[in-house]
Amino acid sequence: MTTLTHHEPLNALLRRMPKAELHIHIEGSLEPELIFRLAQRNGVALKYESVEALRAAYAFKDLQSFLDIYYAGASVLLKEEDFFDMAWAYFERAAADNIVHAELFFDPQTHTERGVPFETVIRGLHHACQRAHQELGISSRLILCFLRHLSEEDAFRTLEQALPWRQYFIGVGLDSSERGHPPSKFERVFARCRDLGLHIVAHAGEEGPPEYIEEALDLLKVERIDHGVRCVEKPELVQRLVRERMPLTVCPLSNVKLRVFDRLSDHNLAALLEQGLVATVNSDDPAYFGGYLNQNFIELFEALPQLGAREAYQLALNSFEASFVERAAKDAWKQQLDHVFGAAL
């Protein structure tokens, strides 16, 4: 790696800097082409005639209208190799974006509900993680997400199914339809997960109110908030998040596609950083939202002129600091980052 020259465009720097991705639903990386290939391989019928017709349906009015299509897309995943192929395709994209570490969410209930064994899902994903480390030098971890539109009982059952594979995932999260499904619904499941030594995260304050962020902190005892952009509606909550150095995994292109913000130029990420929040940039469901991680950085920095090299450095550093890895790995990535930025800051 060479160091930054004074004239290197910001875009080149954003692409080149090492970074971690902490909010990526691996099922949301399933590109239409791969959906069609797997549908054919597995003899699954699709509602859409072509890749183009499927892609044309990706016009969402809110979170739920996206989730309906996202769960339908995942219906082509049946075999261990399907899960491997999906995750491997993501890791190849991640390598191109200079992602050195990724923490992948997966939604087991989307698959076990269709009769796919938990073992099939986790073996395929784990295999891709191993190969990404060997062949691409990317470190990764898996985080099991509970679907919040389903019951507490279903979440407990899923946790039981996952326990034989405890060493294959490092934490649990909470995703799917946020409104009407507050974190409190899963307080007991998360207490059990904490007893098991799992890391804890939850989606909160994407579409749901800031009170859901407070519940995630107080009841689930999360270590990161996924999204969290609606925290700004409660200044005392912002102060708390700053004080506790609670990371937010923010997903700019997702927020525009799901109409959390009308335009990227309305996004509050620059304001969050300005207020001292530990914000990170992530892709969420890149196959559905118009771009992988570097695309999120580039479009965001183009839309928000307050963001420059200093903020790029801070966001990359935050992604390492907020990751669930040992101190030595974080320090090594910071050194790589310092080398890329050189004397530019």
Q: What angle do CA 21, 22, 27 make, to 5 degrees?
A: 90
Identified catalytic residue from 31, 206, 215, 311: 206
Instruction: Select from Zn ion, ligand ADE, none the partner in contact with residue 225, using the beta carbon and a kind-dependent cut-off of 5 to 8 Å.
Output: none
The answer for residues whose C-beta is within 8 angstroms of residue 194's C-beta and 6 or more apart is: 200, 221
The total of other beta-carbon atoms located within 10 Å of residue 59's CB is 10
> Binding residues for ligand ADE, how many (CB under 6 A)?
11
Give the count of beta carbons closer than 10 Å to the beta carbon of residue 152. 14
* Residue number with CB closer to ligand ADE (25 or 101): 25
The reply on whether position 206 binds ligand ADE by CB under 6 A is yes
State which amino acid sits at residue 317.
L
Residue 82: name its binding partner from Zn ion, ligand ADE, none (Cβ under 5 to 8 Å by kind): none
Which SS3 state, helix, strand or coil, does residue 59 take?
coil
With beta carbons less than 8 A apart as the criterion, state whether 1 and 338 touch: no
Quick check: is 206 catalytic? yes
Q: Which residues make beta-bridge pairs with 19?
A: 99
Our separate counts of H helices and E strands in the chain read 17, 8
Q: How far is CA 169 from the centre of its chain?
A: 15
262 is in an annotated binding site: no
Nearer to Zn ion, 97 or 284 (CB): 284
Q: Considering the rule CB under 5 A, would residue 27 count as an interface residue with Zn ion?
A: no
284 near Zn ion, rule: CB under 5 A: yes
What minimum distance in Å lies between the beta carbon of 105 and ligand ADE? 7
CB 289, min distance to ligand ADE, A:
9
3 state SS of 102:
strand
The answer to whether 285 is a known ligand-binding residue is yes
Q: Is 23 annotated as a binding-site member?
A: yes
What character string, x for contact with ligand ADE (CB under 6 A) and - otherwise, covers 249-288? -----x-----------------------------xx---
> Which residue of the chain is nearest ligand ADE when measured via CB?
175
Q: What strands, in cross-sheet order, belong to the sheet with 199-204? A: 19-25, 99-106, 139-147, 171-175, 199-204, 224-227, 248-250, 279-281
CB of 226 to Zn ion, least distance (A): 6
Does 28 participate in binding ligand ADE (rule CB under 6 A)?
yes
Which one of residues 176, 249, 296, 318 is an interface residue with ligand ADE (CB under 6 A)?
176
Here the tokens at position 251 are 């997903």
Nearer to Zn ion, 80 or 206 (CB): 206
CB burial readout 65-82, b (16+ within 10 A) else e: ebbebbbebbbbbbebeb
Q: How far is the CB of 201 from ligand ADE (least distance, A)?
A: 12
Q: Which does 208 bind (CB under 5 to 8 A by kind): Zn ion, ligand ADE, none?
A: none
CA distance 179 to 177: 6
Binding site for Zn ion (CB under 5 A): 284
- Residues labelled as active-site residues: 206
Q: Which residues are annotated as a binding site?
A: 23, 25, 203, 284-285
- Annotated binding residues for substrate, written as ranges, equal 285
Binding site for ligand ADE (CB under 6 A): 25, 28, 63, 70, 175-176, 203, 206, 254, 284-285
Positions at the binding site for Zn(2+): 23, 25, 203, 284
